[in-house]
Homo-oligomer: A and B are copies of this chain.
Amino acid sequence: MAPPTTIFYGAVISPESLTSYKALPRCLLSVGASGTIDWMVDDVQEHVLQETLAQKGCIDVDVITLPAGEFLLPGFIDTHTHAPQLPNLGSGQQHELLDWLSDVTFPMEAKFSDVEFARRTYESVVRRVINCGTTTCCYYGSLHLESTKVLADIVHASGQRAFVGKCNMDRNCPDYYVEASAEVSINETKQLISHIRSLASRPNAQSSSRPHLVQPILTPRFAISCTPELLTSLGKMASSDPSLHIQTHISENKAEIAFTKELFPDAPHYAGVYDSFGLLRPNTILAHAVHLEDTELELIAKRKAGISHCPTSNFNLSSGVAPIGVYLDRGIKVGLGTDVSGGFSPSILTCIQNASIASKILAIQAGTHGTSPTQFSNRQLPVATLLYLATLGGAEVCHIDKTVGSLAPGMSFDALLVNTRSIAGNPGLWSPDTDTPGKGKEALDGLLERFLFCGDDRNISRVYVEGRFIGGNNYRANN
């Protein structure tokens, strides 16, 4: 059931560009029955609230009034995570990528051949990811068709917006965890796509004319694990269906890059491998991108593919520090990815903190200080940029920025109700109610920074997707 019209009155924060966001302390925002933001009126003083509502034709309506210390924010977009790796969170930090895959990751993912184990685990995975404030998530499943169907079913039932793919991986993987052939891989991928697209007609499907909340995504794991035959077939599928999204890894680790070049000696570089099979396009998500060459950047920019920046994982697996500022300066789309369990946290907030740290490390190395209004390369990323990457930047990478990523009329209400008050119970966020903050824009700027650097799931009271209340701390308390 679609929710009825919901009207909020209070603070709203929404990204505008890489360097600016709107912070509206007294905004009136109406979400229609379809889950879309119908209208917003800025700077509504309390004494004209009823009058303003009446002008909008709203008489005798309930209004959700946010107290000081609470605000609405676009939901977080996690552009890269692995659902079957959540049970490994915080394990194996001593490894680098290739050893970590063989010693930690593949053994865990192999367990998802057991559909009941997958069902039990994915129920918890999706609930945790939603409660961390992720309204859109790009999930890698395992290689298993049935378990990945189950993942899609659970995401669908939860009301989260997501892309769900099963890994394509038919070589250079252990015997116990590899696809039998490129043909099997392609057949099962087609079955998964049909299954996910059929969810649109199932109960809990939204009634709007937008694309369905859960969409399939082609997921060649990485070049190393895919035969040219498999990549060729995936490329054909992609070219026959331009709406189909694609996600994969690129240039995460130096040993991985060397092995890729060995396997594809004719490709000019790592990005060139994917491009030669037609897999680099505006709805392609490239995770990591730590060590790209200049000509690769040119190609990625030309193809309008997006990059998922995974700083927690890049630190944790000693992969390196991705020069995100350089990519932004070249106009490449960038979003954030938790990359669980290469990253040790399912929260985009941790990712934001580590994206800030990564940018500061590059600035320290370059000897630059402060931010620059015209340049991101070798500069620390300001709060506005971090917010952008976590929301609208992620939406661009997912090619859904006309639908989500900001709060504005016509956009889907995919949003978080953030609560920075002490009642939220997070001792790491100093509550403004302890110290009586103002209610103006400056106070709101301060709250945003505190939330991004000190917040956790307890500060996310409500998670909305397309207007539906699907998770968050208040949701947990009532379910």
- Chain A positions within 8 Å of B, measured between CB atoms, are 86-91, 93-94, 96, 120-121, 124, 127-128, 131-132, 315-316, 318, 320-321, 344-347, 350, 353-354, 356-357, 360-361, 363-364, 369-371, 380, 382-383, 427-430, 434-435, 446, 449-454, 456-457
Distance A450 CA – B91 CA, assembled complex (angstroms): 6
Is the CB–CB distance between A361 and B453 below 8 Å? no
Q: Which of B90, B94, B369 contacts A318 (CB 8 A)?
A: B369
A361 touches B360 (CB 8 A): no
Q: In angstroms, how far is the closest chain B Cβ from the Cβ of A41?
A: 30
Which of A90, A131, A457: most chain B CB closer than 10 A? Answer: A90
Residues of B close to A87: CB separation below 8 A: 430, 434-435
State how many angstroms separate the Cβ of A335 from the closest Cβ of chain B.
Answer: 20
Residue contact A344 to B91, C-beta cutoff 8 Å: no
A-B contacts besides A93-B356, A121-B434, 11 pairs, CB < 8 Å: A89-B429, A91-B450, A93-B453, A124-B434, A316-B356, A316-B357, A316-B360, A345-B428, A347-B428, A427-B457, A428-B456
Residues of B within 8 A of A320 (CB): 364
Q: List 13 A-B contacts (CB under 8 A).
A: A89-B453, A89-B454, A90-B429, A94-B371, A94-B380, A131-B427, A316-B356, A316-B360, A318-B364, A318-B380, A321-B361, A346-B428, A428-B457
Could you tell me the distance between the alpha carbons of A415 and B288 in the complex, rounded to whole angstroms?
39
Judging by beta carbons under 8 Å apart, are B454 and A344 in contact? yes
How many Å from the CB of A42 to the closest CB on chain B? 25
A449 touches B318 (CB 8 A): no
Q: How far is the CA of A132 from the CA of B93 in the complex (A)?
A: 23
| Chain B residues near A456 (CB-CB < 8 A) | 428, 456
Q: Identify which of A347, A357, A427, A457 gathers the most chain B CB atoms within 10 Å of its CB.
A: A427
Contact A132 B446 (CB under 8 A): no
Is A428 in contact with B132, judged by CB distance below 8 angstroms?
yes
**Taking A320-B364, A353-B344, A364-B320 as contacts, is the C-beta distance between A93 and B428 under 8 angstroms?**
no
Q: A87-B435, A89-B430, A347-B428 are in contact. Are A361 and B315 (CB under 8 A)?
A: yes
